[in-house]
A = this chain, B = another copy of it.
Amino acid sequence: MEQIAKGIWKKRIGIHESITPVAINENLISEEALEHLGRTGKVPFTDSDVNSKINDRGCIIEIPLMAYEKIFGFGLQLKSFNQTGKKKYLRTNADPIADTGDTHAPVPFYVSTAGYGVYVDTARYVSFYCGSSRKQGEENRGLSKRTAVIANNTEDLYSKDNMSEDEVMLIEVPYAKGVDVYFFEGPDIKTAVQRYNLFSGGGCLPPMWGLGILYRLFGRADQEKALELAESFRKDGIPCDIIGMEPGWQSHSYSCSYTWDKLRFPEPEAIIKKLKEMNYKINLWEHVFVHPTSPIYEDLKPYSGDYEVWKGLVPDLNIKQASRIFSQYHREQLVERGIDGFKLDECDSSDYTGGWSFPNCSEFPSGMDGEQMHSLLGTLYQKTILSAISQTNRRTYGQVRSSHAQAASLPFVLYSDLYDHSDFIRGVVNAGFSGLLWTPEVRQCETVEDLVRRLQTVIFSPQACINAWMIPNPPWLQFDHDKNLKGELLDNWKEVQNMCKGILELRMSFIPYLYSSFAKYHSDGTPPFRALVMDYPQDTNTYVIDDQYMMGDSVLVAPVVAGKNTREVYLPEGNWYSFWNSKKYYGSKRYEIKVELEQIPVFIKENTLLPLANPIENVLPDTCFDIVVQCYGEQCEPFTLYEDDGVSYDYIHGSYNHVLLTWKAGSCHSVDRKGNFQGIRYRIIVWKDMVHNEV
């Protein structure tokens, strides 16, 4: 067991493979921040605790599990939360409809309520048996002689009681002749996750505009329709920072030409200019499979895999030259001409949606096989595109459909073609365990209620994305797909639009709070969105809560899915205040909350200073937010607003401020700005004592 940084330990088993997440991400570790986090002094396991063997199947590892431990993590698991007692096969899959471990973003990293994290550094489809496997020959303690109660349904039949003693976390890494396993000290899940994120370079800091609204246009929109919609948002005062264009912008898609289509978009420069004049950022859809008509096809051909996808090349972005060709083309042809971000589609792997994508046994020039490429394509692609933009000293905040380990520093948000609202909420909860960001994007809906409920969730997520690629009109004009296509608008669209506008404005009010939470993600690895168990590790009630989450340190969000008039909310220890009416709730209790359509249940932790901005339509380079500081409690903790130019990487070199807000009920408040950034992004206009103004 070797200490590789403060609180992080490595055990090398056998001969580790040359292509792993750590190997392709050299020198990511945020050593200084890890130093700052310190150590618990407790190594989770000793060398002798961890058994391993290497055989014809690959590398097999056993790590002890205590009967009381609960396990979370494994990347973007949409179908389950608490993984204790389950099997997870971490396979990259575009359509993870079953709870088998398949996901857009498998991450071989888990955390335990015993207060540690374990990361298996592999690009293989690794299996984790989370306490489901008991060695034959172990002593049978308390063995029952007779089954008195016969199970009466499949749930009972297959339910896993608490683990017995002598169980293990059994890990199988296929094909590998060895692997490096990393252990992250706690003392709790959140700290273990922070260490993991800092091991990955710290969390990403999006540009400030990235936290505004992203609206993805109808896929068949041409430049006129695109401009028309963009103009209508500004006319109606609907907040929107980013316009996303879907495949139709390209001359060929599936696979991609990466060139503008001359019929649908004859004047790309003109439309970029017009959108910029309306203060929009522009995001372009693409995927990584290069069509023969693409200008980079011939250059990339020698650096591609032996199988095609949609008759396009699969470039091996693990080869620097290939990554450079791809990145340079994007920078010169798109980024330097005004494009601000990209949506990186289909870098996962298909399953039941038709069998596209390259086989697992593909071979790539850098020595990867298809399985390894499926695991790493998402992160390689993100890094390639990121370099195209960061070379211009501009930040970006894109979308990506696949990611993997060590991705915390990559400013891309995951999404899915799945659409179950509860799964989408669970995605927000789970992504935070693994250094991932996830958007529960809103598309067409079943009802107005469904639309409103989904919008309320997405504004309390890493990326407020409305993905209207299948509908020409915004969903608030018509939520129904077919009617929207036909142009049949809702009778009460004005009313619905106003309600939705209000929801989007709420997002804009939270930008200063959110941006500051992301700054913390960057500097100390704290995920801005996370499960309650991270903040309340001692509270066993939180071990099953997959439909509530913390946004930052002080805001608890409990989204509602359509069809519900009430929902159960669990509030952990301490006191809480309703965001909507400042009603006080005592913690460590469960509440049945009545939920009005207009209001998503949001609770503010006692003694919070919550900086809320007056909403704006979009963030400009010189935007200065007017802030109302809502004060909840007698002994409010100071709040640190993070401030910088919001667009460049100058913050890396120290160009940022910390704006410390302090307040004492009934007496005084102060704003203490410290740092090297010269601008001012926040103006405190009023301090509101929410507790004594209680409704």
Contacts and interface: CB of A to CB of B under 8 A. Distances in A.
Given A252-B146, A311-B140, A220 B152 contact: yes
B56 A253 contact: no
A130 interface: yes
Interface string A139-180: 010011111001111100111100010000010101100000
A437 to B, nearest CB: 23
Given A98-B351, A150-B248, A359-B129, A306 B369 contact: no
A359 B127 contact: yes
A667 to B, nearest CB: 56
A145 B251 contact: yes
A36 interface: no
Nearest to A471: B152
Given A56-B175, A305-B136, A355 B85 contact: yes
Interface string A66-108: 0000000000000110000111000001010111101000000
22 contacts: A55-B361, A80-B352, A85-B354, A87-B351, A99-B352, A129-B355, A129-B359, A132-B354, A133-B358, A135-B307, A136-B304, A144-B252, A145-B252, A145-B293, A147-B247, A147-B253, A147-B254, A150-B220, A150-B247, A154-B353, A154-B417, A160-B354
Contacts of A132: 350, 354-357, 359
A445 interface: no
A246 interface: yes
Given A100-B352, A132-B356, A355-B129, A143 B311 contact: yes
Secondary structure class of chain A's binding surface, majority of residues: loop
A200 B627 CA distance: 77
A295 to B, nearest CB: 13
A219 interface: yes
A470 B147 contact: no
A353 B80 CA distance: 12
Interface string A378-417: 0000000000000000000000000000000000000001
A465 interface: no
Contacts of A79: 352
A134 interface: yes
A158 B220 contact: no
Given A351-B87, A361-B60, A134 B311 contact: yes
A308 interface: yes
Nearest to A99: B352
A313 interface: yes
A173 B66 CA distance: 37
Nearest to A96: B98
A261 interface: yes
Interface in A305-324: 305-308, 311, 313-314
Interface residue tally on A, bucketed by range: 35 or more
A12 interface: no
Contacts of A219: 150-152
Nearest to A60: B361
Nearest to A358: B133
B254 A353 contact: no
Nearest to A164: B311
A66 to B, nearest CB: 17
A246 B150 contact: yes
A359 B100 contact: no
Contacts of A678: none
Interface string A522-537: 0000000000000000
Contacts of A311: 134, 140, 143, 164
A127 B370 CA distance: 13
A187 interface: no
A292 interface: yes
Contacts of A157: 254, 353
Contact of A127 (B56, B93, B143, B360): B360
A560 to B, nearest CB: 26
A570 to B, nearest CB: 24
Contact of A354 (B143, B158, B293): B158
A18 to B, nearest CB: 12
Contacts of A356: 132, 158, 160
Q: Which of A93, A154, A263 has the most CB of B within 10 A?
A: A154
A507 to B, nearest CB: 27
Interface string A114-128: 000000000000010
A74 to B, nearest CB: 13
A86 B140 contact: no
Contacts of A354: 85-86, 132, 158-160
Interface string A250-289: 1111100000010100000000000000000000000000
